Structure 1
Amino acid sequence: MRLLLFILLLFPAFCFGQSSNQTNNEISIGKRFTIHSSILDEDREVWIYVPKSAGVERYPVVYLLDGKDFFHSMTGMVAELSSIGRMPKMIVVGIMNKDRGADLTPTRSMFSRDGMVDSDFENSGRGEKFISFLHKELMPYVESNYNTHPYRMYVGHSLGGLAVLHALVNYPALFNSYVVMDPSVWWDNHLIIKQAQEAFTKQDYANKSLYYAASNTMKNGMDTVRVIKDTVYANGNVRNSFQFREILRKSKNLHWAWKFYPEENHSSLPLLSQYDALRFIFKKYELGKDLQDTTITVAYIKDHYRSVSSMMQYTVLPSQGTVNLLGYISMGNKQYEKAYSFFKMNIDNYPASANVYDSMGDYYVEKGNKKQAIEAFTKALTLQEVAGTRKKLDRLQAKK
């Protein structure tokens, strides 16, 4: 019965980071802030999502370009995938752009992909200022106001994808992982392709990840074999993406994936590719075994999270919920030594948590050790008064 109750408590109904507004029945998934940028000489709006947490936790951060367009999809995917252990919980920072043609272009050019002058690029070339704003103003703001881990992901679509590639090629230390969706690699006579060709063969990209998604914008009748040698303007985006894939194959230690989506166009690509990117980048985050697998041991869990910590570049501990569930599963299978080792692991990792001592109390009750069960429940109550724990303690103390 205790195991069933624990599982029900462990996996609550899905909810977003910020609570719903009970007064007007609105559901909030983030907060909106305006910060002043001295570098850009203007105010900037950002949307921030913070995972729901029972305590003080630290989180890696996603910096999302075109935040207004992709904030809902990205926060939803992060919340859902992290809730089932396939990636870490993450803060998502959605960045609003006042002039995309200025912010997301690294060099000055008035020309669109077709070679024609485009008024959207009247103020182009402010990309260096924009990345300086991210590095020197936005990141410090986020990291001083929220509990963050030193892991950053940068995500962009179209011109935003160009800006992300610009950061990977020219400022690789700023982010740990990069997601580009149909990046505008045609910009300024394919300058980013030329820069990447040089950077990827010279710089060591160890501990960096890139996911590159390309949509199908080819003319009807064209295929991915012929498009590489094709010269038709309309097929240029796909052709450029295949060219960039060849450059990626020469990169030094970059953890990368490149995927062509034959049934998606430029606008429909982001939804699917955001999901695929998160699954690729955090593939090693999830356990390789089902929690019901009786071969899972404390040593297996420790080895896995050492690997995860190496990937994330900071210490990652297994969640209390995961380890607790493993303890209760082991106890239900009468594997008492293993159950104890999981409950003890949780106490070692989370000594300030009342719940881990409550679980150890359940273990001692199961083993018939009244004295140590009372000690465990008493310890839990010194950390937090919980009605269920108090009831267990009172029941034990009432017994003769």
Structure 2
Amino acid sequence: MKLLCSVLLLSLLNISTCILASAQNNDSLGSDQKFVLGKVEVLHSSILSENRILNVYLPEGYDSTARYPIIYLLDGSADEDFIHVAGIVQFNTFPWVNRLPKSIVIGIANINRKYDFTSKSDRSSDNKLVPRNGGSTRFISFIEQELQPYVEKKYGSSEGNTIIGQSLGGLLATEILFTKPQLFDKYIIISPSLWWRDGYLLRSSPSILNSNYSAPTKIYIGVGKEGSIDGSKEHIMEEDARLLADKLQKGLSRHVNVYFDYLPEEDHSTITHQAVFNAFRMLYPKQK
């Protein structure tokens, strides 16, 4: 049986490879054709008083009448995480992989990342690293009041919302989880910069910890061997990430599931790709 399955899988892969090769080697296409990964949209934000660029990946065979899960990607510029995360999503939706349902990816391109992803800090070490900070409340309002309504109007009511954030993006994703948890039902939080404001989020008591919190929520927290980013001995990235996972796992709600993933072979620069792949595997376990 295992041999038969292997033969069938190899056959499928060979057929798919031939189809792709045939499509891209078609002489009738001519030369210098564009390779299109997604599309770029511009959304004007009254809250932020600026235009925001959105990089959008639509799944193969996209049907405008169907409903899809929406994956919101912080650090979603073309030169940040959009291309490789869209690739991970595409791979996981291949029929022979079938790990992830076909999904739309909305990459939010940055303008002033450090300002948008941080709450206001009076801590001198924070202000030395990020002199202009404190825009997270407005940015979260932008996501809730402008971005999500725009996406749902254009692409239809979603089959679930996921947010992906790494580093300061992980800090923002954690702030959303603690202040507006029902904006997303899946959180992929990678190497969150919880040292911000001396770990204030780790000391807070969010509603998601309460027994009456009833929105089904899955949370993946991934971290590598990263040490201290802000130079302090009090906040080691992997320790803070584990404290966050422990805090959430001790919550009283039966509707919250937390997955902690330590990746000692990765550091702050290399962790995102592997962590996103692992997150999809944990958040969408294969049905036996």
TM-score range, shorter chain: 0.7 to 0.9
Identity rate of aligned residues, in percent?
Answer: 29
Q: Which has the larger radius of gyration?
A: 1
Q: Check if 1:194 corresponds to 2:192.
A: no
Q: 1:170 to 1:235 in 2, by over 3 A?
A: closer
Give, in angstroms, the shift of residue 8 of structure 1. Answer: 6.0
The residue number in structure 2 matching 1:249 is 249
The residue number in structure 1 matching 2:162 is 153
Q: 1:96 to 1:276 in 2, by over 3 A?
A: same
Q: Which amino acid aligns with 1:76?
A: G
- Answer with 264-273 or 56-65: which moved more: 56-65
Report how many residues are paired. Answer: 263
Task: Judging by fraction of residues, say which structure has more helix.
Answer: 1
Question: What SS is found at the alignment partner of 1:257?
Answer: strand
The residue number in structure 2 matching 1:212 is 221
State whether residues 178 and 207 of structure 2, in contact with CA within 8 Å, keep that contact through their aligned partners in structure 1.
Answer: no
The residue number in structure 2 matching 1:280 is 282
RMSD value, Cα: 2.9
**Which structure has the higher relative contact order (CA within 8 Å, separation 6+)?**
2
Q: Where in structure 1 are there 5+ consecutive unaligned residues? A: 220-230, 289-400
Q: Check if 1:24 corresponds to 2:36.
A: no
Question: What SS is found at the alignment partner of 1:59?
Answer: coil
State whether residues 177 and 208 of structure 1, in contact with CA within 8 Å, keep that contact through their aligned partners in structure 2.
Answer: yes
Alignment of 1:80-159 (within 5 A): 80-83=91-94, 84-105=97-118, 107-109=119-121, 111=123, 115=125, 117-118=127-128, 120-122=130-132, 124-159=133-168
The residue number in structure 1 matching 2:56 is 48
The residue number in structure 2 matching 1:389 is none
Q: Which amino acid aligns with 2:247?
A: I
Q: 1:190 to 1:263 in 2, by over 3 A?
A: same
The residue number in structure 2 matching 1:78 is 89
Question: What SS is found at the alignment partner of 1:44?
Answer: strand
CA distance in 2 between counterparts of 1:268 and 1:234 reads 23
CA deviation string 1:136-181 (max 9, x = no partner): 1111211111244241001100110011111111111111100000
Q: Provide the TM-score with structure 2 as the length reference.
A: 0.81
Question: What SS is found at the alignment partner of 2:183?
Answer: coil
Return the match for 2:264 from 229, 245, 262: 262
Question: What SS is found at the alignment partner of 2:281?
Answer: helix
CA distance in 2 between counterparts of 1:149 and 1:89 reads 12
Q: Where in structure 2 are there 5+ consecutive unaligned residues? A: 1-7
Q: 1:45 to 1:54 in 2, by over 3 A?
A: closer
Question: What SS is found at the alignment partner of 1:125?
Answer: coil
Q: Check if 1:62 corresponds to 2:75.
A: no
CA distance in 2 between counterparts of 1:193 and 1:96 reads 28
Q: Which amino acid aligns with 2:179?
A: N
Give, in angstroms, the shift of residue 204 of structure 1. Answer: 2.0
CA deviation string 1:52-83 (max 9, x = no partner): 11744321100000012111121111111111
Give, in angstroms, the shift of residue 249 of structure 1. Answer: 2.2
Q: Which amino acid aligns with 1:136?
A: Q
* Displaced runs of 4 or more, over 6 A: none
Question: What SS is found at the alignment partner of 2:182?
Answer: coil
